Amino acid sequence: MPEVTRPISESLAIIKPEQPLTSSVSDFAPKLAELTRESLARMKSIEITVNTDLTPTLETMQAKMSLPFKSRGKFHVTIIEQQEKGILSRLTDEQIEQLNRLSSQLQSGQSPVKVNGVGYIDGSQPGMVKADKDKKVCFVAIEIPEATAFRECLGLERKDFHITLGFINNDIHYKKIGERPLPDKPLSPKRLEVKTPIEKQPDPSLTSITVPTIEFGGFNEPDPEEEKPAAPKPQENKDKRVAVSYNMEIVEQVCIQKLIDAQLIVEADIPNLLKIVETNPNALGGRFGAITIEVKKILEEAKNR
């Protein structure tokens, strides 16, 4: 891949490895030195750790907005999103090496990074996804030319690279661009939201908030808790199972979207899922197997009490 460079004058913050960090979160972010096919098989996304502690920037946002943003405790930039994980198993050896080279260049400062400023998204604003109405998120908007070029080579959509500072009730990834009929009920007045990734751009009203020099670490390790198989549950007496029922309006309007976002189902699964939930919820285990617990967690908010 041709090397992309930018003059320092174009950047608000450029990686400078020789400059010591005043504060670092690297000790709290397990990272891989490089990617291999074995490590890729365990990953759901490609993230590169941020060693710079951005907590002071987050605290400034909390004070300015008077909002209790929560941090994950560590910071990262995502190169390939979880919903794009299907491409990870198709990466060639050369593409894996390109990713490793990108990580190495980010750590050494050979790959220029432009910090554009701090951004903020309020999920209650018009045009947002219904499930995100109680969410808010703030982030640092950045440009990584080499990462943009790499995604283009893979045929992936252009991405607004960013570092999430904090959020309220989880991050926001999508915006609403329309509606469509329910696959199994085309004449129903109810509709499914049509979504697209939301832009993560700097907010002009937040230019007074400064961002320190960004320094990067290696690739984020997969969370060991996510990899750990669920402990087998004792066999239940089926005759003693409590009957479960769900509010189908909430299932259709909220839970379906969340299941798709979590990549637990695809659109082709919707008619069968709705039938099972409405007529025989105890059959969910037979349909979803190992991911039944995750599916039921999302359906929990639609359960009739």
For range 112-140, the mean pLDDT: 95
Please check whether residues 86 and 181 belong to one and the same domain: yes
Structure tokens at 109: 């400062």
Range of the domain at 142: 8-227
Residue 277 has pLDDT above 70, yes or no: yes
In a domain, 232, yes or no: no
- The full DSSP string for 4-59 is ----GGG-SS---TTSPPSSB-GGGS-EESS--HHHHHT-SSEEEEE-B--HHHHH
Out of 193, 227, 261, a domain closes at 227
Out of 181, 205, 227, a domain closes at 227
In a domain, 124, yes or no: yes
Residue 9 has pLDDT above 80, yes or no: no
In a domain, 233, yes or no: no
Please check whether residues 115 and 249 belong to one and the same domain: no
Please check whether residues 159 and 181 belong to one and the same domain: yes
For range 170-192, the mean pLDDT: 86
Please check whether residues 194 and 215 belong to one and the same domain: yes
In a domain, 212, yes or no: yes
pLDDT tens across 139-169, in order? Answer: 999 999 999 999 999 999 999 999 999 999 9
Residue 185 has pLDDT above 60, yes or no: yes
Out of 227, 256, 286, a domain closes at 227
Nearest-CA neighbor of 301 among 261, 269, 258, 271? Answer: 258
Residue 71 has pLDDT above 80, yes or no: yes
Please check whether residues 33 and 156 belong to one and the same domain: yes
Average pLDDT, whole number, for the chain? 81
| Cα-trace Rg, the chain | 22
Across 105-114, 207-216, 281-290, the highest mean pLDDT is recorded for: 207-216
Please check whether residues 53 and 125 belong to one and the same domain: yes
State the total domains in the chain: 2
In a domain, 2, yes or no: no
For range 177-200, the mean pLDDT: 86
H helices, E strands: number in the chain: 10, 9
Query: The pTM is what?
Result: 0.66
In a domain, 82, yes or no: yes
Residue 244 has pLDDT above 90, yes or no: no
Looking at the chain, which runs of residues are DSSP E strands? 31-32, 46-50, 75-80, 114-122, 136-143, 162-168, 174-181, 191-197, 216-220
| Percent of the chain scoring above 90 in pLDDT | 46
* Local confidence band at 26 (pLDDT 50, 70, 90 cut-offs): very low
What are residue 250's phi and psi, to 5 degrees? -70, -40
> Vertex 165, ends 50 and 202: CA angle to 5°?
100
Instruction: Give me the residues paired with residue 259 across strands.
Output: none
Structure-model confidence comparison of residues 87 and 191, the more confident one: 87
Residue 236 has pLDDT above 80, yes or no: no
pLDDT tens across 56-66, in order? Answer: 999 999 999 99
Structure-model confidence comparison of residues 297 and 203, the more confident one: 203
In a domain, 1, yes or no: no
